[in-house]
Amino acid sequence: MDIEKAIEVVKFELNQSRFEHTLRVMETSEKLAERFHVPVEKAKLAAALHDYAKNWPADRLKTYIQNHLPSELLEYHVELWHGPVAADIMEKQFHVTDMEVLQAIRHHTTGRAKMTKVEMVVYLADYIEPGRSFPGLEEVRNASEKNLEYACWLTAKKTLQYLIGRNSIIHPDSIHAYNDLTGFVKAEGMLNE
């Protein structure tokens, strides 16, 4: 699928504010991909498609998961359903074949261990796109000027802190993302022990 087609597909599927968020995630992904030498077209395509299923009602997502995906996903919060559903639809119905693009869509909410750079770009862009505003975001935006892994580590850490603060159930992939990135940034000497 090319970018123009992807934009057309999600514009039809999303409400106006979610579509505008998607365009901002695309622009942010493009900048990050150029900055960190990540394949720009893959990052933009994954960004365009990442929230494809975000406006589906919960019962539609649930039915799709029951029919097509491991049902264990239903044990986790409804917010975690739209990425895996979008990736599955892009693969099966829209014949997107690029695994890096599909993984970036699938894991954009939680992250995971051993994310590819394309996954990291979309994960980070979704968090820092200019329409977002919450405490601590400037620190992540500043980090995103310099180091992709460090900025993703901050994203994973702040997401966990936010979720724990709200007594949320944490998906294992969110924890795996944090552990993996913590190991990486420590090995690079970016953290004080």
Residues in CB range of 145: below 8 A, 6 or more apart: 35
Tell me, rounded to whole angstroms, the distance of Cα 97 from its chain centroid: 18
Residue 119 touching Fe ion (CB under 5 A): no
171 and 108 in contact (C-beta within 8 Å)? no
Q: How far is the CB of 17 from ligand DGI (least distance, A)?
A: 11
Residue 30 touching Fe ion (CB under 5 A): no
Residue ranges in contact with ligand DGI by CB under 6 A:
51, 54, 77, 79-80, 108-110, 126, 159, 163, 168-171, 174
Q: Pick from 180, 121, 114: which is nearest to 147 by CA?
A: 121
Quick count: other Cβ atoms within 10 Å of Cβ 8?
13
DSSP 83: H
Distance CA 43, CA 29 (A): 6
Q: How far is the CB of 189 from ligand DGI (least distance, A)?
A: 28
Strand boundaries in 63-167, DSSP class E: none
Of the candidates 13, 30, 51, 119, which one interacts with Fe ion according to CB under 5 A? Answer: 51
Q: Which does 169 bind (CB under 5 to 8 A by kind): Fe ion, ligand DGI, none?
A: ligand DGI
Q: Which does 168 bind (CB under 5 to 8 A by kind): ligand DGI, Fe ion, none?
A: ligand DGI
Residue 13 touching Fe ion (CB under 5 A): no
Q: Pick from 93, 94, 92, 126: which is nearest to 107 by CA?
A: 126
Of the candidates 88, 126, 173, 180, which one interacts with Fe ion according to CB under 5 A? Answer: 126
Q: How far is the CB of 159 from ligand DGI (least distance, A)?
A: 5
Kindly list the residues in this chain that would bind Fe ion in the complex (CB under 5 A): 51, 126
